[in-house]
Amino acid sequence: MFDGDVRGLVVVGSQWGDEGKGKIVDVLARDADWIARYQGGANAGHTVRVGEDEFILHQIPSGILYAGKRCVLGNGMVLDPAGLFDELDGLMERGYEDAEERIYVSSRAQLVLPIHKLLDRAEEESRGADRIGTTGRGIGAAYTDKVARVGIRVGDLAAPDRLKEQIDAAAERARKRLQLLGSDLEVDGERLFDETMSGAERLLAMSTDVGAVLKRALDRDERVLLEGAQGTMLDVDHGTYPYVTSSNTTAGAAATGVGLGPTDVDAVLGVVKAYTTRVGAGPLPTELPEEEAARLRELGAEYGATTGRPRRTGWFDAAVVRYAGRINGLTALAVSKLDVLDGLPEVKLGVGYRLGGERLDEFPADLTTLCEMEPIYEAMPGWQASTAEARRVADLPAAARAYLDRIAELTGRPIRYISVGTRRKQIIDVEA
């Protein structure tokens, strides 16, 4: 994807998360100099396989597993310092000794404090049957504080006296909120301050103005890959609200989330699975009945990389990806997990929706409509052959090629990459 003049590339999830972004970013990171996360936090779980080793990255960009690549945690993220240190220590123990030297953290990034996780839990409990099924990582509460202009940022760790006041105020707000929610969880302000300060030196040593760093890199003609977390349908504006995460996950947020400008982005690659999954509650139009869903779940090993929850599964929803194409301005698609469909007698594609006899032209915003509309399916023959060894489009069975062609046609976006397994070499670059 770093062809010609492409220097700034966004890789964005174009369904409900877990599309295989980690695998695709890892493959593309070989040609990048910088890999940056622009939103989200430890709610993400990006799986990368290197040889026989598997890594699940939550806050660190998936480029870290290549020697010499530099990784950025952008201002758009909500950072959990303890989690970040655990992740770094784990990488260093597994042979990536210089990982910490290659990490650049935005001094403008927001901190996730232990109170945010308590609030996440209490908010979910108070919703009862309407719970979102969050990852419990404090994401919503941390972004709430950011937008309310009371958040604590990485750079604030450099001024302990002011930080003490900020933390005391945050503890007081959390106490009141927990009480309102009817929770008996307790907040210890002193402990909160000590815990926050305990990681301060280490985090500050990694922190900088990452926008300035990345802009200088682009001016030197270096390549910057902006790695999205979650997916388009979990975007707080464009997703299946309110069953979404609390950030803009889409490509428009990429530049803002690292301190670059929109004109620094030259291309946008949308990652999609060859079928659909979702973890957590909320509408999933092409969801299969449990018996069939379970078959796809087992074939695709669809269990959450962050929480281990079983993922809900369904057929590929071309209407969703067509929508994601517009919202993200997708240049091309990367289709992952094609191999999971190997051997099915028939594959189906959602091509649009119907509600009360009428066809819907655009992906609806309204929750009631989202829950009531019915997908319209098209069936295609499956392929009774393995795709795992395919390295060129011509190696794929004819029925698999027809399926991919139909995806490109229905979504209006060209397919650039096809992933046929977890290994680095299990990738087809259509233009190679």
Binding site for IMP: which residues? 18-21, 43-46, 135, 149, 230, 245, 309
Nearer to ligand IMO, 229 or 251 (CB): 229
Facing residues of 49 across strands? 54
Size of the residue set binding ligand IMO (CB under 6 A) = 23
Provide the token pair at 143. 């972004």
Asked if 270 is part of the footprint of ligand GDP (rule: CB under 6 A), the reply reads no
User: What mask of x and - would describe binding to ligand GDP in positions 401 to 420, judged by CB under 6 A?
Assistant: ------------------xx
Q: What is the residue whose two structure tokens read 């590339």?
A: 9
Asked if 8 is part of the footprint of ligand IMO (rule: CB under 6 A), the reply reads no
Asked if 314 is part of the footprint of ligand GDP (rule: CB under 6 A), the reply reads no
Residues flagged as binding site for Mg(2+)? 18, 45
Asked if 20 is part of the footprint of ligand GDP (rule: CB under 6 A), the reply reads yes
| Binds ligand GDP by CB under 6 A, chosen from 15, 16, 21, 41 | 21
Phi-psi label, residue 419: left if phi above 0, alpha if psi -120 to 50, beta otherwise: beta
Q: What is the residue whose two structure tokens read 């935005």?
A: 106
In angstroms, the Cα distances linking 171 to 97, 113, 149, 207 are: 36, 10, 15, 25
Asked if 280 is part of the footprint of ligand IMO (rule: CB under 6 A), the reply reads yes
Judge contact between 228 and 248, C-beta under 8 A. no
Instruction: Show Cβ contacts of residue 409 under 8 Å, excluding neighbours closer than 6 positions.
Output: none
Catalytic residue status for 18: yes
* Strand ranges (E), 74-223: 78-79, 103-106, 110-111, 207-208
| Binds ligand IMO by CB under 6 A, chosen from 24, 36, 139, 340 | 139
Chosen from Mg ion, ligand IMO, ligand GDP, none, partner binding at 421 (C-beta under 5 to 8 Å by type): ligand GDP
| Binds ligand GDP by CB under 6 A, chosen from 142, 305, 334, 396 | 305
Q: Which stretch binds Mg ion (CB under 5 A): 11-19, 76-84, 187-195, 308-316?
A: 11-19
| Binds ligand GDP by CB under 6 A, chosen from 312, 337, 348, 413 | 337
Distance CA 282, CA 276 (A): 14
Asked if 154 is part of the footprint of ligand IMO (rule: CB under 6 A), the reply reads no
Distance CA 399, CA 155 (A): 54
Q: Restricting to residues 54-93, name those near ligand GDP by CB under 6 A.
A: none
Q: What string of DSSP letters covers 358-383?
A: EEE-S----HHHHHH-EEEEEEEE--
HEC string for 103-129: EEEECCCEECCHHHHHHHHHHHHHHHH
Size of the residue set binding Mg ion (CB under 5 A) = 3
Judge contact between 417 and 427, C-beta under 8 A. yes
CB of 210 to ligand IMO, least distance (A): 20
Catalytic residue status for 46: yes
Provide the token pair at 32. 């990048």
Chosen from ligand GDP, ligand IMO, Mg ion, none, partner binding at 336 (C-beta under 5 to 8 Å by type): ligand GDP
Facing residues of 380 across strands? 347
Beta-strand pair 53-57/312-314: unpaired
Q: Which stretch binds Mg ion (CB under 5 A): 43-51, 88-96, 255-263, 334-342?
A: 43-51
Annotated catalytic residue: which of 26, 46, 235, 264?
Answer: 46
User: Residue numbers of the site for ligand IMO (CB under 6 A)?
Assistant: 13, 17-18, 43-46, 132-135, 137, 139-140, 229-231, 234, 245-246, 279-280, 305
The set of catalytic residues is 18, 46
User: Residue numbers of the site for Mg ion (CB under 5 A)?
Assistant: 18, 45, 305
